[in-house]
Structure 1
Amino acid sequence: MSQYAELGLPLIHAGKVRELYALPEADRLLMVATDNISAFDWVLPSTIPDKGAILTQLSLWWFDRLRDIVPNHVISTDVPAAVARRGLVVEKLEMIPVECVARGYLTGSGWAEYQQSRTVCGIGLPEGLVDGSRLAEPIFTPATKAALGEHDENVDFETMVGTVGRETGEAIRDLTLRIYRTAEEVARDRGIILADTKFEFGVRPDGTIVLADEVLTPDSSRFWDAASWQPGGRLDSYDKQYVRNWLLHDSGWDRNSGQAPPELPAAVIEQTRERYVRAYEQLTGLRFA
């Protein structure tokens, strides 16, 4: 169901965080970032104030800096007042059904797999790494896109190629790693470690691959404080890992129970918003108002 019924536009798709609306022009969509927050494939019952605006404005900042590497789907920021700052007019693309993940540091599901097999998505890694270790070179670790409420699945490169074809697979792998290397350097210069991130790409009718959805936000990336980063120890984050940690360790919720997560306490909502704002301000050098 649309959160913005007052727009009077047909709702095409409602994801965990974003809603897509049809526009009169057949080749355009209105993409709106809500204040929803998801964790462990659940959309939580609580929202984070201003989150949608932060994600949209930070994505625009990154799109501008990446335009020499890859075109993006943004056409205009001229949107209805009801979705100002959180809505974008974007190209309608044929989306490539892969989460394109770049990892420059070992953590999360990659760390879990490494402990079992010394690999991540089929890529062998050296012995002796710990949670938070920087990798010698960033790696491409794709995931299949799952339906809402189901788990994305990490796969190896050849499995992905079987889905999208070798030419497309090699193109999105190379773009993913090139974007990551550029963004990682930008973030590090601003005191933030970009541990990993995911991208989505679409294809224009002429075959051009286009960067779409959101890019390099606290929802799609792991951002760590470079000053306190300690492999095997402290990994202070500016992303929704704070919410994940509260759900796992403090909420009393069992993620394997099949029950929906609980409401977030006011203090957790406030701290999460502060982390998102800090990521935006530290990366862009702009004040979020």
Structure 2
Amino acid sequence: MKISDIVELGLWPKSKKTTSQKGISELEELGYNLFYIGKNADLYTCPGEEAKVLLVRTDRCSVFDIPLNLEIEGKGILQTAISNSGAKFAKESGIRTAILSQNVDEKLKIYPRCQLMELCKPLEAEIDGDIVQFELIFRNYLTGSLFEACQNGKDPYGLELSSNLSQWHKFETPIFTPTTKGLKDEPLNSAKVRETFPEIVSSLEKLFKDFTKYAHDNGIVVVDTKFEIFVNSKGEWVLGDEVLTPESSRFISLENFEAGNYISMDKQILRNFAKKNSWKEKAKDLKPGQKLDVEVPASIKDEILNGYSTIKERLSK
């Protein structure tokens, strides 16, 4: 299938720029053709007529949507393994994902970085007169931007949370805090989104609760999780490629959490380093397609890899 076929099916946004660069030779020789270079992963068209693509994770890094001139060796393989495990958990819970059970030949050197994906388009609906795409977020704890909003007397999701709640307050049952998906994620009224997608939200709420328990039993505290929903060629809703992973969730080891050390075992480590070194300010001068040159100590890279390794070991299905 060619990229023109994918666009014609309405399963690839025309606004996303494709590439004419050649990809990894062992894939290109088998009929997989590179067509999109993302911040952290590349996409290939697949031989044959099926509506699917091959996602290949790299060791490239980004933070706050800033592309970085930085690679952390081994990160892509770990992320792929965690993604496959999260997708398996969802599938065993009866929820479809865009990740297909079939894959490329295991003998290929690139195999541990690959996922065959069903071609899908983002879920869209009208909310308050606007057509929007969604990030469906569930939280077990009050922290981050929502804690700050509560402290300032704001109610971005219509949940009527008390301003007296302390940071890291654990909710009796997970709260639902949906946002739009775009250049800037805008909070949406929780009840309105539930009314729009009652079956989707209730299914994901159960998945989140079940996964929270499974993770806790295996030494990981799940702070929150973001689900991105797509629609396949059959009109069915499916989860995307980041299902219950460090890219879509905040994970803290149980031993750290109980000790009051609330450092997430994921890209938060790199985010903290980025804030300390003013990467957001430096990135303002970047030209389109340009990457920010950064230097990251080996100790930070090792901390990130150790976090991903621990998540993989404890949560693998």
Give me the TM-score of the superposition, normalised by structure 1. 0.83
Partner of 1:74: 99
1:99 lines up with 2:155 in the alignment: no
SS of equivalent residue, structure 1 residue 213: coil
The answer to whether the 8 A contact 1:132-1:235 is kept is no
SS of equivalent residue, structure 1 residue 273: helix
Residues 50 and 153 of structure 1, relative CA distance in 2, 3 Å threshold: farther
Residues 99-132 of structure 1: per-residue CA shift (max 9 Å, x gap): 2211111222222322223535232213432332
Partner of 1:268: 300
Residues 254 and 89 of structure 1, relative CA distance in 2, 3 Å threshold: closer
Residues 45 and 172 of structure 1, relative CA distance in 2, 3 Å threshold: farther
SS of equivalent residue, structure 1 residue 178: helix
Q: Distance in 1 between matches of 2:121 and 2:280?
A: 34
Residues 218-274 of structure 1: per-residue CA shift (max 9 Å, x gap): 12110012223269x52032111111111223x2x2534525473322221122111
- Unaligned segments of structure 2, at least 5 residues: 1-18, 124-132, 286-291
Q: Give me the CA root mean square deviation.
A: 2.6
- Unaligned segments of structure 1, at least 5 residues: none
| Deviation of 1:189 (Å) | 0.4
Q: Which sits farther off after the overlay, 6-15 or 86-95?
A: 6-15
Partner of 1:234: 261
Residues 71-125 of structure 1: per-residue CA shift (max 9 Å, x gap): 2223212258253111111211222232221111122222232222353523221
Give me the TM-score of the superposition, normalised by structure 2. 0.77
Residues 57 and 254 of structure 1, relative CA distance in 2, 3 Å threshold: closer
* Residue number among 271, 278, 281 corresponding to 1:244 in the alignment: 271
The number of residues matched between the two structures is 274
Q: Distance in 1 between matches of 2:187 and 2:61?
A: 22
Residues 247 and 204 of structure 1, relative CA distance in 2, 3 Å threshold: closer
| Deviation of 1:28 (Å) | 1.3
The percent identity for this pair of structures is: 29
1:108 lines up with 2:138 in the alignment: no
Residues 44 and 112 of structure 1, relative CA distance in 2, 3 Å threshold: farther
Letter aligned with residue 192 of structure 1: I
1:283 lines up with 2:302 in the alignment: no
Letter aligned with residue 227 of structure 1: E
Residues 130-156 of structure 1: per-residue CA shift (max 9 Å, x gap): 33221122122222222xxx3333333
